[in-house]
Amino acid sequence: MCPCLSVFLRGLFLVGIVGAGPAGLMLGHLLHRAGIDSVILESRSREYVVERVRAGVLEQGTVDLMHEAGVGDRLGREGMRHEGIYIRFGGARHRIDMAGLTGGRAITIYGQNEVVKDLMTLRFASGRPLHFEVTDLSVHDLDTRAPRVRFQHEGVQHEAACDFIAGCDGSHGVCRGAVPPSHLQTYEREYPFAWLGILASAPPTSQELVYSLSERGFALFSMRSPTITRLYLQCAPDEDVNGWSDDRIWGELIARLGSDDGWAPKPGAILQKGVTPMRSVVVEPMRYGRLFLAGDAAHIVPPTGAKGLNLAMADVRRLATAIEESYAGGGEARLDEYSDRGLRRTWRAQRFSWWMTSMLHRQEGETPFDYRRQLAELDYLVSSQAAMTSLAENYVGTPFD
Ligand code: APR
Ligand code: PHB
């Protein structure tokens, strides 16, 4: 690249944010509210980022953060607050009263892409930079006080001199890979199954989510709005979606979710189908020098506990506060504890997601003993106040610190 086409970016305080998923956008927003400039760099197009269908369960802490951060208006109007969930097994549905067991905490159904849309609107209104379709992004001098991000945008080579870089670039990003391997430990677990997910134009027949273990495997009933349902079926990790006609999907969903009281999901036009892999990843620490990893760049959880988006939001809230404190002359104590605090929350979420996953899925090679044991665990869960409270506390999430 000719140096004459090179642009050098630098504000008074500048945080380089890689990735415009929920983590990067929320971090940029929180920093903006604190008067701190940032540049957000995203490799995909704006349409792709907004349209990508992901999870949709917001913990109470995420909802509180959205409101605190002034991005909760539409969430307040359109989000669907759920105070309980159903666990279905042996043909029967059992309700867990999450709000009753946690002093009024609940979850809110609001699609991740709606969160992204709301944050993007505020970013554009702020006038601060958010670039899509950047290429050749790389991060440098991470172990100095002047880290840099290089990238190309619209055919021009750029370099941003930053005070901090936030790696919010998800599980396939470049930031994690920029940490020298000797400074990073990765813990991973692959699950021997995946989820086939659909979005359907059908009004939800249950007011609340239904998690089911059936002899045919796991299924989940969820929703996005009063007219759209979101459903998942346990499938093989290499499942070919083309082998699943709409009729086959609905037949399987009804067989796995339908219960003795006559309840079942109602079929409708399938708007989208896809396979979600199931894995757990944690990288330790979540920091290298002036690079801070947040969200999926630092950890992946299987979707059974609905923790991915919420962990990302907890990370960036801590990171924004720590950066703000350091600019305000308050020292770096919060930056220094960013990783340890995040890892504590992450491992708790990993444990919970692993537990929900193991309890609700059938595994190849399992014995009849294993299945009976799973049913006994579910039976205990729905008949013990202590066990239900444990699930409820973890599901609605602990307050963000
Ligand atoms: N340069 C710039 N951007 C990149 C690069 C790169 N080299 N690599 C990836 N990205 C972008 C991706 O295109 C994506 O938009 O980083 C963004 C990361 O966003 P997410 O994957 O949504 O991750 P995060 O913001 O951490 O959100 C966590 O995502 O795990 C899902 O649904 C899960 O709810 C969870 C949430
Ligand atoms: C979803 O609505 O997409 C959803 C709900 C609960 C989960 C995972 C995904 O555990």
Helix, coil or strand: residue 191:
strand
Q: Tens digit of pLDDT per residue, the chain (401 long)?
A: 443 345 666 656 699 999 999 999 999 999 999 999 999 999 999 999 998 888 899 999 999 999 999 999 999 999 999 999 999 999 999 999 999 999 999 999 999 999 999 999 999 999 999 999 999 999 999 999 999 999 999 999 999 999 999 999 999 999 999 999 999 999 999 999 999 999 999 999 999 999 999 999 999 999 999 999 999 999 999 999 999 999 999 999 999 999 999 999 999 999 999 999 999 999 999 999 999 999 999 999 999 999 999 999 999 999 999 999 999 999 999 999 999 999 999 999 999 999 999 999 999 999 999 999 999 999 999 999 999 999 999 999 988 87
Q: Is position 82 annotated as part of the catalytic site? A: yes
pTM equals 0.96
Q: Determine which residue's CA is closest to atom 29 belonging to ligand 1.
A: 309
Q: Determine which residue's CA is closest to atom 4 belonging to ligand 2.
A: 55
Ligand number, closest to the Cα atom of 55: 2
- If you compute the radius of gyration of the chain from its CA atoms, what whole number of angstroms results? 22
Burial class (CB in 10 A: 0-12, 13-18, 19+), 150: middle
C-alpha 104 to ligand 1 mean position (Å): 32
Torsion of CA 356, 357, 361, 362, to 10 degrees: -120
Distance of CA 111 to the CA centre of its chain: 11
**Beta-bridge partner residues of 272:** 199
Q: Is the CB of 54 under 6 A from ligand 1?
A: yes
Q: Is the CB of 252 under 6 A from ligand 1?
A: no
**Beta-bridge partner residues of 221:** 210, 231
Q: Catalytic one among 110, 191, 211, 338? A: 211
| pLDDT for the residue 8 | 63
| pLDDT for the residue 10 | 61
Helix, coil or strand: residue 55:
coil
> Which tokens is 360 given?
């609700």
Q: Determine which residue's CA is closest to atom 36 belonging to ligand 1.
A: 309
For the CA of 223, the nearest atom of ligand 2: 2
Burial class (CB in 10 A: 0-12, 13-18, 19+), 103: exposed
Helices 308-327 and 333-360 sit at what angle, rounded to 10 degrees? 180
Question: How many whole angstroms separate alpha carbon 2 and alpha carbon 187?
Answer: 42
Q: Is position 395 annotated as part of the catalytic site? A: yes
